[in-house]
Structures are given as C-alpha cells and as structure tokens.
Amino acid sequence: MADLSNKVAVVTGGRRGIGRAIAMLLAQRGADVLIGDCTEDPGKGTAAEIAAATGRRVIANCVDVAKYESAVEFIEGAVEHFGRVDILVNNAGITRDNLIVRISDADWNAVLDVNLKGAFNCCKAVARRMMKQRYGRIVNITSVAGIAGNAGQTNYASSKAGLVGLTKSLAKELGSRNITVNAVAPGFVTTALTDDLPQDLKEAAIKMTPLGRFGVPEDIARAVAFLVSDDAAFITGQVLSVDGGMVMQ
C-alpha cells in the first residue's frame, strides 16, 4: 500500500461523493488534507469525520474554483495551515444536462467555468509552489464522457475533454520539475448525481459496462491514491479510465 506520510493533499469538491472518498483514502494513507466546496458548508463535518477516522489533520475551506482569486486563497490556506502542498486533486464539477438546442449560454458557461476553468485556476495557483519545491502530484478527475462523448451532455463532455488536453499539456510543461500530471476518467459511479438517473438509463449503463455494475467512489479513490504515490513516479500525462470497461464499447 502506497505511503503518503508527510504529504499534504488538496481535494476540491471534497465534501461528498467521489471527492470525500478520495480525501478519506489519502488521509488513511498518511496525508494531511484540505477539502473544499463552494456551498455554505464546505465540508467541515466531512473533514472532522475523516480526521477522527484517520488521525490526520483534515480541514475544510470554501472555494469557488471558477474564480482565480478564490483558488489562490484556497491553496494559500493549505500552505498557511500545513506548510506546503504536495498533491492537488481537481474533483470539483457540475452538470447542466440538456440537448444542445436547449442549453443556454448560462448553462454552458457554468459547466465550463467550474469543470475546466476551475481545474486550470487551481493548477495555476499551485504550480509555482510545486515548481519551487521540485515535487508535485496533480490528478484531474475527467469522465468517460470526455473520451467517448454522451448525448445530452455537450457542455459536460466538452469540459471533461478539455481536462484531458489540460492534463497532457501541463504534464509536458511541469515534468522537468518532478511534477506529474494525470487524469482519472470515471464511468458511472454511485453518487448523488447518478442516484437521480431514470431506472432505464441506469440499466442501459450497466449493460454497456463489461463488469456489469456501477462503480463506487472508492474505486476512483484507489486510482487517485496510486497516481499520487511514489509507485506512479514515472507516470505522467496519462488518462486512466476507471469505468468497468465501458470505454471499450
């Protein structure tokens, strides 16, 4: 099991679902963790639960990743509290699904601003510090929709495809400073977002998945924990699909 002792991790969208599972597993493996969300409660209860379960220092602060100034303040908060940032996981994301003829400018902009620009903002906010310390691990949470597309999600799929380009470009830009940049592309995962899907859509998704089930947040967390560990020190610019085989279809 990869040891993350003495590492400091930042996880956006860490209050619940996949982000919570990532924060929990990184803490279980020894990291101190800052989680963030843009809701009134950024996850202070979640942070307390993870800290109690793992014995690590875990805190939560508000962040609006779509705004660069907020992203900078968020990252600086981690530095002030923990002294450094070693790991950044860009997990914050939203959906505004609809057919393209019904997607408003507001819904297009909101999804791109959070999912893609948000990751860019956080990467930019942390890059200089990681370059100075000559160490860093960045993981962007994309989606199978960003690889294969999905009807009714042109905004979401575009934002997630953009993350693939961001990941590969940044990996080339930062690699000489011992900073790896990778992405994880989940398939259908049991979260609050998928709970509301119509039953027929859930059944269709399972039929398209060779392993015959939805993933769970912990499936994604284990992939992230691997990519931020020393076991993956020679892996960068990659997109790891954690989707039960869906993208093969």
pLDDT of 211 above 70: yes
Predicted TM-score (pTM) of the model is: 0.96
How far is Cα 56 from Cα 48, in angstroms, rounded to an integer?
10
DSSP string, 97-109: -B-GGG--HHHHH
- Whether residue 249 is predicted with pLDDT greater than 60 in this model: the reply is no
Q: How far apart are CA 144 and CA 6, in angstroms?
A: 33
Average pLDDT over residues 72-83: 97
Look at residue 197 in the predicted model and tell me its pLDDT: 72
Tokens of 94: 């939203």
Question: What does the pLDDT read at residue 195?
Answer: 73
Span 44-57, pLDDT tens digits: 999 999 999 999 99
What's the CA gap between 232 and 249, in Å, rounded?
Answer: 27
At residue 170, the pLDDT reads 98
Q: 242 with 215: CB under 8 angstroms?
A: yes
The two three-digit tokens of residue 117, written as one number = 């620009």
CA 203 – CA 19 distance, rounded (Å)? 25
Q: What beta strand segments (E) does the chain contain?
A: 8-12, 32-37, 58-62, 87-90, 136-141, 179-186, 239-242
Is the pLDDT score of 219 beyond 70? yes
Q: Taking the mean position of all CA atoms in its chain, how far away is CA 65?
A: 12
Residues annotated as part of the active site: 156
- Report whether pLDDT(191) > 90: no
> Mean pLDDT across the stretch 212-217?
95
Q: Is the pLDDT of residue 198 over 80?
A: no
* Distance between CA atoms of residues 233 and 246, nearest Å: 27
pLDDT tens digit string along 158-190? Answer: 999 999 999 999 999 999 999 999 999 999 998
- Band the pLDDT of 96: cuts 50, 70, 90: very high
Q: What is the pLDDT of residues 20-70, one digit of tens each?
A: 999 999 999 999 999 999 877 788 999 999 999 999 999 999 999 999 999
Residues composing the chain: 249
Name the least confident of 41-50, 75-84, 100-109: 41-50
Q: Are strands 179-186 and 32-37 parallel, antiparallel or unpaired?
A: unpaired
